[in-house]
Amino acid sequence: MRVAESVVLLATLVAVLYRLFAGPTAWDRLLAYNSASNRVVILLAGAGVFLNQSVYLDVAIVYAALSFLGVVILARFMERGEGHR
């Protein structure tokens, strides 16, 4: 991953983090969290390839899996409502 691509990815990450903290609804925040997590995974994978370190790729895979599970759990919780059991 070249420096220019990393800078663009970090700039979009900053924009997504703004939406994460200033989102008008909880659904906007959840989508922003998902988008930010995807960008972090791309940065980790790119760093792993660029630095020739496979540990970054392993961390990216685990982070992506945990992020996906977190988004699914939060979406189901938000869909049902807070008081539903």
Q: What is the pLDDT of residues 8-35, one digit of tens each?
A: 988 999 999 999 999 899 999 999 999 9
Q: Is residue 9 part of a domain?
A: yes
How many Cβ atoms sit within 10 Å of the Cβ of residue 32?
Answer: 19
Q: Is residue 73 part of a domain?
A: yes
Cβ pair 36, 20 in contact under 8 A: yes
Q: Reply yes or no on whether the pLDDT at 82 is more than 80.
A: no
Number of structural domains found in the chain: 1
Q: Is residue 59 part of a domain?
A: yes
Q: Is residue 39 part of a domain?
A: yes
Confidence (pLDDT) at 23 = 85
Q: Is residue 63 part of a domain?
A: yes
Query: pTM for the full model?
Result: 0.85
Residue 72 belongs to domain spanning: 3-80
Confidence (pLDDT) at 3 = 83
Query: Considering the chain, what percentage of its residues have pLDDT values greater than 90?
Result: 75
Q: Reply yes or no on whether the pLDDT at 74 is more than 80.
A: yes
